[in-house]
Amino acid sequence: MSLIKRGAAVLLLLSLLLFPIGCSLSKSETETISLAEVTRSIFYAPLYVAIENGYFEEEGINLELTTAWGGDKTMTTLMSDGADIALVGAETSVYVFAQDASDPAINFASLTQTDGTFLVSREKIDSFSWEDLKGSTFLGQRKGGMPQMVGEHVLKKHNINPHEDLELIQTIDFGNIPSAFASGTGDFVQLFEPQATQFENDGLGYVVASFGEESGLVPYTGFMAKESFISENPELLQAFTSALYKAQKWVEEQPPEVIAETIVDYFEDSHIELITQVVDRYKAQGSYATDPVLTEEAWEQLLLIMDQAGELPQQVDFNDLVNTEIAESVLD
């Protein structure tokens, strides 16, 4: 065989060997998305399920998750390009929009659809009535936050003026509210999980009502991104939302015990039995959104709650801060 023919044969063999390798690499390419969550919470179980079950990987996404610990910090991270996506309360997008942001934060997928707090009584009440709060000392959440606004909305719904009919304490930092109640402050307290269930298990208090059940559907926590990022990365966000939707359907179908086993590594300080109890409570009241679409009805309820609390800086049209096209595109 001549040198020319031998060389051609070698080149042909190399091309046949390298071609499938090249194709494999292109199929294995992933896009990295940075996500900042407002806090670490069992309330966000579908997100952790999506990670643990490999749904983001299936969609070609390498998800980098960080916890910002607070709504203000989360939005600062998002707006300063410290994260591509923020998981935070929808009310924060309203606050940013009211500041005439040139590149506003747009809500594109829903994660939780009710408030996540519970009313805990220091004393056991066999037949609770909201009237029991009148004349009591109520340890509430910080002013301006969504839990506080929902709390006031529910109290007013039951004809209770939170600033006249009871002693409302709102001066304690979010992280210190459980310990303040455990130390003897307040007759009632508004608590997130897992503290509410933990207190009940330990005999420190009794869950007598759910603010989530009382307030109805609201876009309590969801995913948002800057308007420019959405316009530049529609397919990437569609893949992200598709992974989320897989997890939402899975969570809807699975029993609390299975969900708890899947997310237990995200909560090192909580026993799996407690996580199971909390998941069961949230599932029972429909807190986990069953699909990522944020509805206009829920948005209007959010604005109503903010307005009643005196925290709505301006009326904001649904279409100005909500993108439903991405979420609707991934539905079966």
pLDDT at 300 over 60: yes
Contact criterion met (CB below 8 Å) for 96 and 80: no
pLDDT at 111 over 50: yes
Mean pLDDT of 283-305: 97
Which tokens hold the place of 57? 């990987």
Mean pLDDT of 122-147: 95
What pLDDT does 121 receive? 98
Per-residue pLDDT of 144-182, as tens digits, reads 889 999 999 999 999 999 999 999 999 998 889 999 999
Contact criterion met (CB below 8 Å) for 322 and 299: yes
Q: How far is CA 103 from each of CA 59, 72, 96, 209, rounded to the nearest angstrom?
A: 27, 17, 9, 40
Per-residue pLDDT of 188-237, as tens digits, reads 999 999 999 999 999 999 999 999 999 999 999 999 999 999 999 999 99
Percent of the chain having pLDDT more than 90?
89
Per-residue pLDDT of 88-109, as tens digits, reads 999 999 999 999 999 999 999 9
Which fold does the domain 117-215 belong to in CATH? D-Maltodextrin-Binding Protein; domain 2 (3.40.190)
Lowest-pLDDT range of 131-135, 141-145, 232-236, 269-273: 141-145
Where exactly are the structural domains of the chain? 30-114+218-330, 117-215
What pLDDT does 28 receive? 57
Cross-strand bridge partners of residue 223: 87, 109
CB atoms within 10 A of CB 277: 22
What pLDDT does 254 receive? 98
Residues 6+ apart with CB under 8 A from 188: 119, 120, 121, 122, 133, 136, 137, 138, 139
Q: CATH number of the domain at 30-114+218-330, please? A: 3.40.190.10
Task: Judge if 30-114+218-330 and 117-215 fold alike in CATH terms.
Answer: yes
How far is residue 189 CA from its own chain's centroid?
Answer: 22
pLDDT at 4 over 60: no
Q: How confident is the model at residue 270 (pLDDT cuts 50, 70, 90)?
A: very high
HEC string of the chain equals CCHHHHHHHHHHHHHHHHHHHHHHHHHHCCEEEEEEECCCCHHHHHHHHHHHCCHHHHCCEEEEEEECCCHHHHHHHHHCCCCCEEEECCHHHHHHHHCCCCCCEEEEEEEECCCCEEEEECCCCCCCCHHHHCCCEEECCCCCCHHHHHHHHHHHHCCCCCCCCCEEECCCCHHHHHHHHHCCCCCEEEEECCHHHHHHHHCCCEEEEEHHHHHCCCCCEEEEEEHHHHHHCHHHHHHHHHHHHHHHHHHHHCCHHHHHHHHHHHCCCCCHHHHHHHHHHHHHCCCECCCCCCCHHHHHHHHHHHHHCCCCCCCCCHHHHECCHHHHHHCC
Mean pLDDT of 44-69: 98
Residues 6+ apart with CB under 8 A from 202: none
Lowest-pLDDT range of 15-19, 192-196, 325-329: 15-19
Which tokens hold the place of 206? 């009794």
